[in-house]
Structure 1
C-alpha cells in the first residue's frame, strides 16, 4: 500500500504514508464490521462531500444487509494478511 500511495502521489513522504495506513485500516475495519454510525463518522473525518457521504451510507447499508458474520470475518482475516505485509 505504501508503494502504491507513493506512486500515485510522489509528494507524500514516507511518514505521511505511515499516517495514512492506520486511518485506512480503521475505516475499512469499520466498513466491514463496525456500526453504521461509527463508519459514517469515520468517513466524515476525511470527506464532508454530501455525495461521498450518501454513497458511504448506501454501501455500508449493503454490507450490513448482505454479508454474513462469517463473510465479515473472512474479509477481516484477509485484510489482516495485507496489513501485516511489509509494504503497508
Structure 2
C-alpha cells in the first residue's frame, strides 16, 4: 500500500504543479492506464515506443511487475479515482 500512496502523491504533485491545467497529455494518460490496468506486454510496448534504453525498459518492467504483484484491483481503482478527481477539480 505504501507504493500506491507514493504513486498517488507523485501524480497529484505533478498535476497540481502543471501550471493550472490539470489535463494530462493523451500519451501520459494511456501510460497510467496501462500501468495500473493493462498487462505487462502492452505496457512495455507502450514504453518502448518512447525509449530504447535497456535500463529504462528493465526498470519499467520491474515496476510494472511490482505493481501487479503488490496492489489489489481495489488499490488500482482507488488510484485511478484519485487521479480523476484531481483532474476534475475546479482548482486545476
TM-score normalised by L of structure 2:
0.69
The equivalent of 2:39 in structure 1 is 35
Helix, strand or coil: the match of 1:79? Answer: helix
Higher CA-based Rg: 1
The answer for unaligned runs of 5 or more in structure 1 is 7-17
Would you say 1:24 and 2:15 are equivalent positions?
no
Q: TM-score, normalised by structure 1?
A: 0.72
Query: Which SS does the other structure have where 1:73 is aligned?
Result: helix
Aligned to 1:73: 77
Q: How many equivalent residue pairs?
A: 74
Give the unaligned 5+ runs of structure 2.
1-14
